[in-house]
A and B are shown apart, each in its own frame.
Chain A
């Protein structure tokens, strides 16, 4: 109704700054201004407003809850008024300096008061003696705002920094100082530096110095989308519509602009002709197409039907997501095939959860901490699993999708309400991280790293190497928007998803050649997407959304294409001629799919392992899969366990053996450190990872250093320190040796398999012999430790002697010497007898 009757302001107060607030149910609108009256307007009634007279004048802030409202004035008092009796309910807090802003928490229990004092007070509205203080800002605060869950509060300070506090603990805790977002303004300036939280709680918006509105996400404090070039002077007020689909802003240029959140475009502008004075405060009506605003001339405007009819449907939509650049909930890269592959998934995501009755409390009041969809209400800071947490790839499990973002269907879906969703493992590209802000790593390994920067119209990709001598770093502009990469010492492999201009493309770029560079591209058939890619020293592998595994040579010759037996595919890895593919297999208990892997030798066209299971316990998921430098497949799961595949060259013999449990490492045993490990590689019998501290789930920029850890097979728990120091010492010594034996034995079998199945070099054979001796040495030490323990351990010692691999008899001789030294004569005799039997070959006969 833009052409309707000319909008008429209601003179509410004497000319001067005027502020307003709706009650959350939208029934009443309260305004305060320069004079000592407060006016309460009933929505939808043109009757004369109720006026409450007050002793103070020059009110500067107001916030209303359903039953009461709180008013702050220039003389530093904050009073609470009842809406039932329309009278003064009491003084809430008194400050020595003028009040600048008041915000009520969504549940109405806490009122945050910003004054010209340095400290922001958060007062309990029912018990004014309970006060929390926010003390970190060095200058007075200008605005305060609670996030939709009420567990965070953002304070816009006059020094141009936004301070975000967490209120979940007893004492408010500063979690972030956001520099350079808002301008430094005087506390009584008309221009605003207010932070407004998007109703979905994942992001907030604030006016910047360049008169744009910048959205910033709460999870990683990265700058997201901007609403730009809307105003020619400072922004003075801004407000999200209750579903977050629209943003209204007003500026000192006397323009009101309505923005579409999703596209950040202007859908309607009201210029100087319709706006008489600078608007200082504006608020959407909670349900109707109505924006109310007050100006600095004492007037209130109730702008009905402000959203033009062609866009009015935006207001009726359910809660919309915040405008993030790479919305983790909307964009699941590489999982395009996932939905198609299981028709159940889509309905499964939102099933299992009842929908509220129409006009339920939550629908009217919006989300708070108690709502069913209260987003991130529970801070899962100790990882005990109160909430569905993102898995190691930073991707959320599918159950999360119902969380306030997915639009509830128009009518309830009756046929699968009883059915719990199937948890399928999402596909991932090994070694990549999800978008964070505008950057992500496409590949991180021991050769180097590939990262990309989103420049909105295109990406820029940088490849850097650790070995600066052999390789040269390179950088290129990427119009194809590559989202997967694989890097090794021979070249870099990229793949991009299909778009309007081109189908899904695989691009290989070798590092060096002796002729001109021969990089090549392969386009996949239409509607086929690469879900993961891998590069070995002789092949290029891609798993696709159609369930194919495609193998190319390093020059782009298609060598093989076959349907993956377990699909949809999750990941793939390649080493020399071997290709490892992982897919979702049949359902197992807990309605999760069982992960299955297959290993093929492409060159000999042999299958090494066929649809064997990847044993993951209950809720764990796969974080990374890679080949170690000696060519053994390794996986790392969200439980922090590194597993290696033993005997995988023989069909049916393969088993996954734990090499390291990062959660049991000694450095974490004190309990003081909290850190996650992001796996990078297994090389030189060490686990290389990136240590993530401070609750991060994936590495970010600048690139953190690699750390290396020795393997430690979880044979026994770390011995707790006992009173009996001596006893504990011996116990841990034996345990340490036993662990060392199991670990060396495992590495020996891996090496033996490698040496026997390939044309081993001389060095490898020597190394193998050395490793065998090493295992026996550990056994000798173990025998010594057992002998030291006492006579009664003789049987165990003899058993350990029997485990020795050495066939020359030298080891047994040494063992017998040890027994002599500890004067275990019986043991010595038995060892000698065993040695004799072995010498004549009796033992072998017995064994067979």
Chain B
């Protein structure tokens, strides 16, 4: 049975993945730690802030058992700053830098020493540790910025200082960045590429269908030309110097 969906992730799937991100909540009632597949959660003791996966935080928020404290990059000052960066003419080609990757911790300074071993559980990009908690880097957008901002503004708008302003800035930011992405497609050609550094998860999901279609179309258009070029090359080879033909054949086989 053919899957009716286009290749890649749908926006709701991206949003679902984003719910793995950790956010900081301020509990309003006690709850003992839960044993989850992603690891145990800390026990909730009001008013101590605790990092929790977004899905659980949203659940608690809906039941009025917790308040979500939005990450610092979802504040008006930081978003304005990032928007300025995106709008600046000098950086018109670039997307604002994403959060710094943590230093690699796979090699312990001393092997085999139980006391110096690092945390066994390590999240891998794009799920950086503390991407959206209160300890998050203050001046950069994480991979899941769009989805996370949308989810938090939908379900926990009352925990923002200026939710409408944040919503507006997020929309501006999205439009600016999407227009940059679209600008990149103008140069799409067979063999050409556009750089997707620092682009968020939702943005990739949004443009994936289009880009894949365009590139595929281009490939098909160029198919006949490619074929004829290949045939010409083959002919040249056959008519060419015989000594090298053997090795060329082998190359063909390997392809």
Within 8 A of B (CB), among A722-742: none
Q: Are A466 and B46 closer than 8 Å at their CB atoms?
A: yes
Within 8 A of B (CB), among A673-713: 683-684, 705-706, 708
Q: Are B29 and A780 closer than 8 Å at their CB atoms?
A: no
CB distance from A835 to the nearest CB of B (A): 16
Contact of B48 among A683, A705, A776 (CB under 8 A): A683
Which residues from A are CB-within-8-Å of B65?
468-469
CB distance from B24 to the nearest CB of A (A): 11
Q: Are A705 and B69 closer than 8 Å at their CB atoms?
A: yes
Q: Does B246 contact A (CB under 8 A)?
A: no
Which residues from A are CB-within-8-Å of B26?
466, 705
Q: Does B109 contact A (CB under 8 A)?
A: yes
Which residues from A are CB-within-8-Å of B64?
468
Q: Does A79 contact B (CB under 8 A)?
A: no
Q: Does B49 contact A (CB under 8 A)?
A: yes
Q: How far is the CA of A591 from the CA of B65 in the complex (A)?
A: 53
Q: Are B28 and A817 closer than 8 Å at their CB atoms?
A: no
Number of CB contacts from chain A to chain B under 8 A: 45
Q: Does A446 contact B (CB under 8 A)?
A: yes
- Nearest 10 A-B pairs (CB), nearest first? A469-B29, A466-B47, A466-B46, A467-B46, A468-B28, A777-B115, A468-B29, A467-B29, A814-B115, A706-B47
Within 8 A of A (CB), among B19-56: 26, 28-30, 46-49
Q: Are A821 and B110 closer than 8 Å at their CB atoms?
A: yes
Q: Are A780 and B116 closer than 8 Å at their CB atoms?
A: yes
Which residues from B are CB-within-8-Å of A683?
48
CB distance from A736 to the nearest CB of B (A): 14
Q: Does B251 contact A (CB under 8 A)?
A: no
Which residues from A are CB-within-8-Å of B48?
683-684, 708
Task: Mark B43-85 against chain A: 1 for CB-CB distance below 8 A, else 0.
Answer: 0001111000000000000001100010000000000000000
Q: Does A538 contact B (CB under 8 A)?
A: no
Which residues from B are CB-within-8-Å of A446?
47
* Residue of chain A at shortest CB distance from B67: A705
Which residues from B are CB-within-8-Å of A470?
29-30
Q: Are B110 and A467 closer than 8 Å at their CB atoms?
A: no
Q: Are A467 and B28 closer than 8 Å at their CB atoms?
A: yes
Q: Does B113 contact A (CB under 8 A)?
A: yes
Chain B: interface secondary structure? loop
Which residues in B have some Cβ–Cβ distance to A below 8 Å?
A: 26, 28-30, 46-49, 64-65, 69, 109-110, 113, 115-116
Q: Does A453 contact B (CB under 8 A)?
A: no
Q: Which of A446, A468, A784, A818 has the most CB of B within 10 A?
A: A468
Having A683-B48, A814-B115, one finds 20 other A-B pairs with CB under 8 Å, namely: A466-B26, A466-B28, A466-B47, A467-B28, A467-B46, A468-B46, A468-B65, A469-B28, A469-B29, A469-B30, A470-B30, A684-B48, A705-B26, A708-B48, A708-B49, A780-B115, A780-B116, A784-B110, A814-B113, A821-B110
Q: Are A817 and B115 closer than 8 Å at their CB atoms?
A: no
Q: How far is the CA of A465 from the CA of B30 in the complex (A)?
A: 12
* Residue of chain B at shortest CB distance from A465: B46
Q: Which of A684, A705, A773, A817 has the most CB of B within 10 A?
A: A705
Which residues from A are CB-within-8-Å of B30?
467, 469-470
Q: How far is the CA of A780 from the CA of B109 in the complex (A)?
A: 12
* Residue of chain A at shortest CB distance from B159: A705
Which residues from B are CB-within-8-Å of A469?
28-30, 65
Which residues from A are CB-within-8-Å of B109?
784
Q: Does A781 contact B (CB under 8 A)?
A: yes
**Interface pairs (20), CB distance under 8 Å:** A446-B47, A466-B46, A467-B29, A467-B47, A468-B46, A468-B65, A469-B28, A469-B30, A469-B65, A470-B29, A470-B30, A683-B48, A684-B48, A705-B69, A708-B48, A777-B115, A777-B116, A780-B115, A780-B116, A784-B116
Within 8 A of B (CB), among A542-569: none
Q: How far is the CA of A469 from the CA of B26 in the complex (A)?
A: 14
Q: How far is the CA of A706 from the CA of B47 in the complex (A)?
A: 8
Q: How far is the CA of A467 from the CA of B67 in the complex (A)?
A: 12
Which residues from B are CB-within-8-Å of A706?
47
Which residues from B are CB-within-8-Å of A776?
115
Q: How far is the CA of A336 from the CA of B109 in the complex (A)?
A: 63
Which residues from A are CB-within-8-Å of B47?
446, 466-467, 706
Which residues from A are CB-within-8-Å of B113?
814, 817
Q: How far is the CA of A469 from the CA of B44 in the complex (A)?
A: 12
Q: Are B46 and A781 closer than 8 Å at their CB atoms?
A: no
Q: Are B29 and A781 closer than 8 Å at their CB atoms?
A: no
Which residues from B are CB-within-8-Å of A780?
115-116
Which residues from A are CB-within-8-Å of B28?
466-469
Within 8 A of B (CB), among A445-498: 446, 465-470
CB distance from B138 to the nearest CB of A (A): 10
CB distance from B110 to the nearest CB of A (A): 6
CB distance from B68 to the nearest CB of A (A): 12
CB distance from A664 to the nearest CB of B (A): 20
Which residues from A are CB-within-8-Å of B49?
708
Q: Which of B47, B110, B115 has the most CB of A within 10 A?
A: B47
* Residue of chain A at shortest CB distance from B111: A821
CB distance from A37 to the nearest CB of B (A): 57
Task: Mark A809-827 against chain B: 1 for CB-CB distance below 8 A, else 0.
Answer: 0000010011001000000
Q: How far is the CA of A817 from the CA of B113 in the complex (A)?
A: 9
Q: How far is the CA of A781 from the CA of B113 in the complex (A)?
A: 11
Which residues from B are CB-within-8-Å of A817?
110, 113
* Residue of chain A at shortest CB distance from B138: A667
Within 8 A of B (CB), among A751-784: 773, 776-777, 780-781, 784
Q: How far is the CA of A310 from the CA of B61 in the complex (A)?
A: 66
CB distance from A600 to the nearest CB of B (A): 30
CB distance from A183 to the nearest CB of B (A): 29
CB distance from B158 to the nearest CB of A (A): 12
Which residues from B are CB-within-8-Å of A773?
115
* Residue of chain A at shortest CB distance from B69: A705
CB distance from B87 to the nearest CB of A (A): 23
CB distance from A449 to the nearest CB of B (A): 10
Q: How far is the CA of A708 from the CA of B109 in the complex (A)?
A: 30
Q: How far is the CA of A449 from the CA of B66 in the complex (A)?
A: 18
Q: How far is the CA of A470 from the CA of B26 in the complex (A)?
A: 15
CB distance from A687 to the nearest CB of B (A): 13
CB distance from B41 to the nearest CB of A (A): 16
CB distance from A813 to the nearest CB of B (A): 10
Which residues from A are CB-within-8-Å of B110?
784, 817-818, 821
Q: How far is the CA of A705 from the CA of B25 in the complex (A)?
A: 12
Q: How far is the CA of A705 from the CA of B48 in the complex (A)?
A: 11
CB distance from B152 to the nearest CB of A (A): 16
Q: How far is the CA of A781 from the CA of B116 in the complex (A)?
A: 8
